[in-house]
A and B are shown apart, each in its own frame.
Chain A
Amino acid sequence: MDPQGPNGGDGTSHRLSMPEPPPGIGTGFLTDYWQSQRSLPVMQGPEVLLYYLQQGMRTVLALPTSSVITVLTIAVSLFLLAGFLLVLQNVDRLLSEAGNTLYVTAYIKDTAEPEVVTQFVQQLENNPRVREVEYISKERALDLFREDLGPRSGFLEGLDQSNPLPASVDIVLQPEELDVEKIDGVLEGIRAQPVVEELVYGSEWVDRMQRVIKIFRAFGMTSLLVALGIIVFLISNTIKLVIYARRDEIGIMQLVGASATFVRIPFVLGGLMQGLAGSALGLLLLKGGFTILNYEIRNSTIVGVALPDLVFLNVGAIILLTLVGLIVGAVGSLFALRKFMNV
Chain B
Amino acid sequence: MSTATAPQASSREIITLYHVDKLYPPNQYALRDIDVRINRGEFIFVAGASGAGKSTLLKLLFAEERASRGQVLVGGRNLVAISRQQKAALRRNIGVIFQDYKLLETRTVLENVAFALEVIGVKKRERFQLAFKMLSAVGLKERIHALPPTLSGGEQQRVAIARALINRPQVILADEPTGNLDPDMTIAVFNLLLEANRCGATVIVASHNLALIEEINKRTLVLDRGRLIGDFEHPKG
Partner-B contacts on A (CB < 8 A)? 1, 3, 7-9, 13-17, 19-22, 24-27, 29-31, 33-35, 40-43, 47-48, 62-63, 248-249, 252-260, 262, 341-343
B38: CB under 8 A from chain A?
Answer: no
B211: CB under 8 A from chain A?
Answer: yes
B10: CB under 8 A from chain A?
Answer: no
B123 — which chain A residues lie within 8 A by C-beta?
40-43, 47
Which partner residue on chain A sits nearest B187 by CB separation? A19
Report yes or no: B188 in contact with A257, Cβ–Cβ below 8 A: no
The total of Cβ contacts below 8 Å across the A-B interface reads 145
Report yes or no: A41 in contact with B126, Cβ–Cβ below 8 A: yes
Report yes or no: A26 in contact with B106, Cβ–Cβ below 8 A: no
Majority-rule SS of A interface residues: loop
B222: CB under 8 A from chain A?
Answer: no
Contact of A40 among B122, B187, B188, B199 (CB under 8 A): B122
Chain B 122-136 residues near chain A, CB threshold 8 A: 122-123, 126-127, 130, 133-134, 136
Please give the distance in Å from A149's CB to the nearest CB on chain B.
Answer: 86
A42 — which chain B residues lie within 8 A by C-beta?
120-123
Please give the distance in Å from A247's CB to the nearest CB on chain B.
Answer: 12
Which partner residue on chain B sits nearest A21 by CB separation? B188
Report yes or no: A40 in contact with B117, Cβ–Cβ below 8 A: yes
- Among B23-31, B88-96, B223-231, the one that faces the other chain is B88-96
Report yes or no: B116 in contact with A30, Cβ–Cβ below 8 A: no
Q: A16-B216, A258-B88 known; A1 and B192 CB under 8 Å? A: no
B233: CB under 8 A from chain A?
Answer: no
Report yes or no: A41 in contact with B119, Cβ–Cβ below 8 A: no
Q: A33-B168, A255-B102, A343-B64 known; A24 and B88 CB under 8 Å? A: no
Report yes or no: B165 in contact with A30, Cβ–Cβ below 8 A: yes
Please give the distance in Å from B131's CB to the nearest CB on chain A.
Answer: 12
Which partner residue on chain A sits nearest B90 by CB separation? A257
Report yes or no: A30 in contact with B137, Cβ–Cβ below 8 A: yes
25 A-B contact pairs sorted by A residue (CB < 8 Å): A1-B210, A1-B211, A1-B214, A15-B187, A15-B215, A21-B188, A22-B185, A22-B188, A25-B185, A26-B188, A29-B134, A29-B136, A30-B134, A30-B137, A30-B165, A30-B196, A40-B122, A41-B123, A43-B121, A47-B123, A255-B62, A256-B116, A256-B119, A257-B91, A342-B84
Partner-A contacts on B (CB < 8 A)? 62, 64, 84-85, 87-92, 94, 96, 98, 102-106, 115-117, 119-123, 126-127, 130, 133-134, 136-139, 141, 163, 165, 167-168, 184-188, 190-192, 194-196, 198-201, 210-212, 214-216, 235-237
B126 — which chain A residues lie within 8 A by C-beta?
40-41
Report yes or no: B187 in contact with A16, Cβ–Cβ below 8 A: yes
Contact of A257 among B88, B105, B136 (CB under 8 A): B88
B235 — which chain A residues lie within 8 A by C-beta?
3
Report yes or no: A249 in contact with B105, Cβ–Cβ below 8 A: yes
Q: A16-B190, A19-B187 known; A24 and B196 CB under 8 Å? A: no
The 3 tightest CB contacts between A and B, nearest first, are A257-B91, A257-B92, A34-B199
B214 — which chain A residues lie within 8 A by C-beta?
1, 3, 8
Q: Give the complex CA separation of A256 and B98 in angstroms.
A: 10
Residue with the greatest number of chain A CB neighbours at <10 A, chosen from B90, B168, B196: B168
B134 — which chain A residues lie within 8 A by C-beta?
29-30
Please give the distance in Å from A79's CB to the nearest CB on chain B.
Answer: 31
Report yes or no: B192 in contact with A24, Cβ–Cβ below 8 A: no
Q: Give the complex CA separation of A248 and B149 in angstroms.
A: 14
Report yes or no: A31 in contact with B195, Cβ–Cβ below 8 A: yes
Report yes or no: A256 in contact with B64, Cβ–Cβ below 8 A: no
A62 — which chain B residues lie within 8 A by C-beta?
106
Report yes or no: A257 in contact with B133, Cβ–Cβ below 8 A: no
Report yes or no: B119 in contact with A3, Cβ–Cβ below 8 A: no
Q: A42-B123, A43-B123 known; A259 and B88 CB under 8 Å? A: yes
Residue with the greatest number of chain B CB neighbours at <10 A, chosen from A16, A248, A343: A16
Residue with the greatest number of chain B CB neighbours at <10 A, chosen from A15, A22, A254, A256: A256
Q: Apart from A34-B196, A43-B121, A43-B122, what are 10 other A-B pairs with CB-CB below 8 Å?
A: A9-B236, A17-B215, A24-B141, A29-B137, A30-B195, A40-B120, A248-B105, A253-B119, A256-B96, A257-B88
Report yes or no: B85 in contact with A21, Cβ–Cβ below 8 A: no
B167 — which chain A residues lie within 8 A by C-beta?
257
Report yes or no: B64 in contact with A255, Cβ–Cβ below 8 A: yes
A342 — which chain B residues lie within 8 A by C-beta?
84
Report yes or no: B139 in contact with A25, Cβ–Cβ below 8 A: yes
Which partner residue on chain B sits nearest A23 by CB separation? B139
Please give the distance in Å from B133's CB to the nearest CB on chain A.
Answer: 5
A31 — which chain B residues lie within 8 A by C-beta?
195, 198-199
Report yes or no: A257 in contact with B120, Cβ–Cβ below 8 A: yes
A252 — which chain B residues lie within 8 A by C-beta?
102-104
Contact of B192 among A22, A30, A41 (CB under 8 A): A30
Please give the distance in Å from B64's CB to the nearest CB on chain A.
Answer: 6
Contact of A256 among B105, B139, B163 (CB under 8 A): B163
Report yes or no: B184 in contact with A22, Cβ–Cβ below 8 A: yes
Q: Give the complex CA separation of A40 and B196 in angstroms.
A: 18
